[in-house]
């Protein structure tokens, strides 16, 4: 019986047996991943090696270097343009400030010109045609109503002659007219006012008086330091 069993196992008709090594599935996946990674690394190396052999990688590096150079040039041009723009803006601000200053000076010059024209017109109105007088004299006097109860006066006093000394004295204005149909006279409020004349002196001011008064005559007197009358002038309105 034992012989029959042994012969059956050793004969061709005996059942086949398969020997398999049992590995866990995580280890199988790890081995597969390592194999794929190794294959990918070999493929990438082969690709890069092929590019270097074909000369493609060299052209890309040259093109990249050229692009970097162009970018640097563009940046330099942009900075230069920005600098020019800043300079132009600064120049515009400076020019605007200069124009404003010139406009202010022009307005001031025009104001001074108008003042000089007014002075010239005043002197032209006051200066008489006759001349040749020596010493201190009242060349002209003007007076007009500025407002009810107020009189404005303008006087030009000149001192002619060679090497004349400055005249220090006082002037006094007197208003003469009627008030309530009666004779009326009013001296300058505050009394005679100080004055100095070297070659000429321009006097002007306002005198208040009663609004009902009718001013018909304005009388001017020039007094020296001792109170003596040096010159007089009368204006009839």
| Secondary structure of residue 157 in the 3-state scheme | strand
Are 218 and 174 contacting, i.e. CB atoms less than 8 angstroms apart?
yes
Residue 58 contacts by C-beta under 8 Å, 6 or more apart in sequence? 52
Q: Does pTM top 0.75 for this prediction?
A: no
Instruction: Delimit the domains of the chain by residue range.
Output: 30-126, 135-236
Supply the DSSP symbol for 16.
Answer: P
- Average pLDDT of every residue of the chain: 77
For 162-215, what is each residue's pLDDT tens digit?
Answer: 667 888 889 999 999 998 888 989 888 888 889 888 888 888 888 888 989 888
- Sign of the alpha-carbon torsion through 221, 222, 225, 230: negative
Instruction: Supply angle C-alpha 115, 116, 122, rounded to 5.
Output: 90
Are 229 and 223 contacting, i.e. CB atoms less than 8 angstroms apart?
yes
Query: Can you tell me the distance from the alpha carbon of 220 to that of 233, in angstroms, rounded to the nearest whole number?
Result: 5
Give every residue of the chain whose pLDDT is below 70, as ranges.
Answer: 1-28, 30-31, 34, 38, 43, 45-61, 119-134, 161-163
Are 193 and 213 contacting, i.e. CB atoms less than 8 angstroms apart?
no
The verdict on domain 135-236 having CATH code 2.60.40.10 is: yes
């Amino acid at each position: 019986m034992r012989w029959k069993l042994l012969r059956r196992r050793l004969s061709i008709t005996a059942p086949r047996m398969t020997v398999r090594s049992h590995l866990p599935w995580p280890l199988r996946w790890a081995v597969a991943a390592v194999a794929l990674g190794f294959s990918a690394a070999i493929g990438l190396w082969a690709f890069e090696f092929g590019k270097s052999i074909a000369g493609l990688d060299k052209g890309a590096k040259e093109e990249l270097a050229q692009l970097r150079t162009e970018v640097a040039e563009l940046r330099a041009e942009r900075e230069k343009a920005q600098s020019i723009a800043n300079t132009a803006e600064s120049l515009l601000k400076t020019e605007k400030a200069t124009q404003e200053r010139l406009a202010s000076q022009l307005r001031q010059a025009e104001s001074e010109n108008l003042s000089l024209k007014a002075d010239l017109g005043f002197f032209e109105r006051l200066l008489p045609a006759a001349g040749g007088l020596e010493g201190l004299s009242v060349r002209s006097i003007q007076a007009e109503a500025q407002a009810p109860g107020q009189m404005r006066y303008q006087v030009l006093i000149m001192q002619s002659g060679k090497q004349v000394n400055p005249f220090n004295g006082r002037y006094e204005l007197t208003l003469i007219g009627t008030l309530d149909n009666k004779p009326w006279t009013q001296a300058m409020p505050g009394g005679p006012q100080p004055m100095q004349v070297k070659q000429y002196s321009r006097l002007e001011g306002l005198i208040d008086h009663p609004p009902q008064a009718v001013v018909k005559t304005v009388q001017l007197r020039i007094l020296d330091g001792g109170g003596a009358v040096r010159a007089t002038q009368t204006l009839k309105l």
